[in-house]
Amino acid sequence: MFSVYPNPSRGSTFSLRIQDEATQIQLQTLQGIRVPVQISSASQEIRVSPTQSLAPGTYVLRIQDLSGVYARKIVIL
């Protein structure tokens, strides 16, 4: 499992707190279009930075780790 903060966000960078090592992280629109991101990590915290400005709205963050695939909605203001 994981948590995302801040949520809602202004869209520049947000962080994830994870329990297991993530093997894949994807950000996508509700229509399923992938949004390019840069990932940096330290310990159990991962910082996700979109490489382009995000329009206000709802996005989906998908994480795959050793125990499965999870998704969280992220609101961009």
Model confidence, pTM: 0.85
CB 65 within 8 A of CB 22: yes
Task: Walk me through the domains of the chain, giving residue ranges and CATH numbers.
Answer: 2-76 (2.60.40.10)
Chain centroid to Cα 34, Å, comes to 11
pLDDT in tens, the chain (77 residues): 688 999 999 888 889 887 777 678 999 999 999 999 999 987 778 899 999 999 999 999 998 888 888 899 999 99
